[in-house]
Amino acid sequence: MTTFEEMNLFAPLQRSLSEQDYQTPTPIQAQTIAPAIAGHDILGCAQTGTGKTAAFALPILDYLGHDKPKALPNRPAALILAPTRELAIQIGDSFRTYGKHIRFKQALVYGGVGQGQQVNALRRGVHVLIATPGRLIDLMQQGHVDLSQVEIFVLDEADRMMDMGFMPALKKIIAKLPEERQSLFFSATLPPKIQELSSQLLFNPIFVNVTPKTTSVELIEQRVRMVQRADKVDLLCKILGREGVGQVIVFTRTKHGANGLVKKLDRAGVQATAIHGNKTQNARQRALTAFRDFKIQVLVATDVAARGIDIDGVTHVINYDMPVEPESYVHRIGRTGRAGAEGIAISFCTVDEIEELRAIERLTRQKLPIENPNALSLTGQSKSSAKKQSGSSDRRPHNKSKRKRSGSTSGKSQKPVSGERTFRYRKAKKNSKGSSKRATTVA
């Protein structure tokens, strides 16, 4: 479908899209919305910035608009799990924007802030619950959340959930979901553990893959700067002082490194702040607001924060430390070059980070240009000695295994899905003859 109007969405929902001048769906939206409205489970492989929030928000709002379920205290009709507080808040903002003309109640629950307001919102009745796993578990254990009435379950950024250690919490949450439900599962990558989880969660899913054949971003100019570790701060300050350098996100490998870099930049007269998992919710929000409002020039972040930052106007992304996982490189640099704007990504690379650079080049299928290739030469140094110096034997190896999918239907090859408004498809699953049931627990 080439336009939102062709999707025959609930009229007030279409009105909201028109007011926002949303006319043409992105590929993930075009392939997901219709089968999701028809009640199919979805396995979506898509990176951030592809419009996947609308891909699950619009079907949920369409359902709420047509079926008009009652907002029950503590018992949501739709549950969306997000890995970070920032992403949960952004999803909530999107629901408010798209559902402007639909009467529905939503609640956001996440850590780092008091429970009082969140508990009160749940008690008043809720259609859509947007949550991070840790706080949701807490509220479930306290009796403030009952998942027995969930009709639609969305797991967003599943691979990031796994990276952040949320798998035990996910298992507890999934065990409390009703078997008769619709599940929408989104992940930027599909490593074996994520494939296993999706196979246990989903019932004959529609597979939608909008990951580009090459994972580089066309509008982002990518460069590598060879540098000694001790010279990184001075090089960063020089770049920040160049003409045309505006808002900058700098990525470090650790939380400690992020805090330390902010102190060094402060001593150099550069206004910067850090955002990472150890910051309180209020501190993270203050940092993002100050960065959005141009009160500070530099935001220093870890990979956990990479996908939760969605800010237009970022001119540069600087990889102060090379990411251990090459996929993180794509997510990092995707913070610039947004909304059709051009962006620049500069990666600082030391001798002991050469292997990380090569892994990124293999993933993106391109040779990244090195501005000063003769600055640090590996001449006469074997790969094994380089690994020994870098301590890379302690790092997680890059997974080169081919990603497979089974039990799913390609979104490209599927037959057109009827636009009939019925989420009762998922209830019919249980009664389908010869069909296997979805596992109620995750092994």
Distance CA 40, CA 307 (A): 27
CATH of 5-205+407-431, one of 3.30.565.10, 3.60.21.10, 3.40.50.300, 3.40.50.150: 3.40.50.300
CA distance 270 to 261: 11
> Which of 368-394 are b and which e, b meaning 16 or more Cβ less than 10 Å from the residue's Cβ?
bebeeeeeeeeeeeeeeebeeebebee
What is 220-394's CATH topology?
Rossmann fold (3.40.50)
pLDDT of residue 395: 36
In this prediction, residue 325 carries a pLDDT of: 82
In the chain, domain spans: 5-205+407-431, 220-394
pTM greater than 0.75 (yes/no): no
Q: Are strands 106-109 and 220-226 parallel, antiparallel or unpaired?
A: unpaired
What is the per-residue pLDDT for 376? 56
- How confident is the model at residue 420, as a pLDDT? 41
Give the separation between CA 275 and CA 271, rounded to whole angstroms. 14
- Is there a common fold for 5-205+407-431 and 220-394? yes
Sign of CA dihedral 432, 150, 103, 15: negative
What is the Cα–Cα distance from 420 to 418, expressed in whole angstroms? 5
> From first to last of its 443 residues, what are the pLDDT tens digits of the chain?
679 989 999 999 999 999 988 889 999 999 999 999 999 999 999 876 778 999 999 999 999 999 999 999 999 999 999 998 888 999 999 999 999 999 999 999 999 889 999 999 999 999 999 999 999 999 999 999 999 999 999 999 998 888 778 889 999 999 999 999 999 999 987 888 889 999 999 999 999 998 654 444 667 899 999 999 999 999 999 999 998 899 999 999 988 999 999 999 999 999 999 988 777 767 877 888 899 899 999 999 988 665 657 787 899 999 999 998 887 888 889 888 776 678 999 999 999 999 999 999 988 888 999 998 877 554 334 343 334 444 433 333 333 333 233 333 344 433 334 334 444 344 444 444 344 444 333 33
Cβ 377 vs Cβ 174: under 8 Å: no
Task: State which H helix or E strand residue 427 sits in.
Answer: helix 425-431
Give the separation between CA 263 and CA 82, rounded to whole angstroms: 31
Distance between CA atoms of 116 and 144, rounded to whole angstroms? 11
Task: At 73, list the tokens.
Answer: 């205290």
Residue 306 is predicted with a pLDDT of: 59
pLDDT at position 339 is 62
